[in-house]
Structure 1
Amino acid sequence: MRKTHHIYTELNYQMRRREDLRSIEEITLIAVKEWMARNYGQPTEHGYQWKDLFLPHGTSLRISHRGLCYFAEVKGDLLIADGKIVTPSAWATEVCGSVRNAWRDICIRRNYREGWTQASAWRAAAGEQPKRPGINRRLRARRITD
């Protein structure tokens, strides 16, 4: 119970600091819905369904091409890039100037705390948290020498 009180106290402090007028219940409901979308890959309200991958509202997409980064964002049920409604494939083709494999060229970030991950990694993990080969490298190296 003590940890729960600490979390609500911190939430209250952060909301006051940012002058957020929403209720704690409203923020909690948003957090639970986002957690469900991220952990179960199931639509909670709004988001873009890209084949078997669900991208919740607010998800950012990025293409790096010729040293420049291009961004799109899921807003409601639509994928928006440069103020236009696009599909991932059409967006990749438009940015790169030729037909491209959008799964390979697009990187996804579901929230600001995550790093960018290639769409094909999300697809291979079927919407679950994708494997990132470099994350546990030190731990694996330590096990080899033990």
Structure 2
Amino acid sequence: MDTTHPVYIELYYQMRKREDLRSREEITLIALKEWMTREYGQPTDRGYQWKDLFLPHGTRLRITHRRLCYFAQVESDLLMADGKITTPNAWAAEVCGMVRNAWRDIYIRRNYREPWTRAHDLRAGAERRPGVNRRRRARRSTD
């Protein structure tokens, strides 16, 4: 491919501006997969079911621990981190070195257009339990 094409130059500029550390080839593959999914209608029912939260194929998960970001990704119906199959709770415990509340510590981005959102906020039914946030804030203030 001709990497001097204006699209590649714009891609390189946008990646540098956002400090994206992925390679151009990786971004190109992601774009091609998304285009094929849209154009050819590949099934979107692949994904990881985390209790009552469904994470579609390609969803990225992030934990920040000691100022370092760690990432995992949903591939087909598995959650993969560092090339190993894991669960959100086991991954949070492995990254942090202790048992953690994965719902509170993991941030999720289902696609690149979405912002990172805390797993607890995406969890089904969280908006129907308004007292939970009040109790959580009170509990956190005494920790």
Same fold (TM over 0.5): yes
Separation in 1 of the partners of 2:67 and 2:49?
29
CA RMSD of aligned residues (A): 2.9
The size of the alignment, in residue pairs, is 97
C-alpha displacement of 1:120? 0.2
Q: Which residue of 2 aligns with 1:115?
A: 115
5+ residue gaps, structure 1: 1-17, 34-43, 127-146
Q: Which residue of 1 aligns with 2:69?
A: 69
Q: Which residue of 1 aligns with 2:100?
A: 100
Separation in 2 of the partners of 1:108 and 1:45?
18
Helix, strand or coil for the counterpart of 2:123? Answer: helix
Higher normalized contact order (CA 8 Å, seq sep 6+, divided by chain length): 1
C-alpha displacement of 1:45? 2.4
Q: Percent identity?
A: 67
Contact 2:53 2:124 in 1 (8 A): no
C-alpha displacement of 1:27? 1.4
Q: What per-residue deviation string (whole Å, max 9, x for no partner) do you get for residues 43-102 of structure 1?
A: x42100000000000000000000000000000000000000000000000000000000
Separation in 2 of the partners of 1:115 and 1:62?
12
Separation in 2 of the partners of 1:124 and 1:104?
14
Separation in 2 of the partners of 1:57 and 1:24?
14
Separation in 1 of the partners of 2:124 and 2:52?
10
Q: Which residue of 1 aligns with 2:89?
A: 89
Q: Which residue of 2 aligns with 1:27?
A: 39
Separation in 2 of the partners of 1:125 and 1:59?
20
Q: Which residue of 1 aligns with 2:129?
A: none
5+ residue gaps, structure 2: 1-27, 127-143
Q: What per-residue deviation string (whole Å, max 9, x for no partner) do you get for residues 88-132 of structure 1?
A: 000000000000000000000000001100000001556xxxxxx
C-alpha displacement of 1:29? 2.1
Separation in 1 of the partners of 2:36 and 2:87?
36
Structure 1 stretches of 4+ moved >6 Å:
none
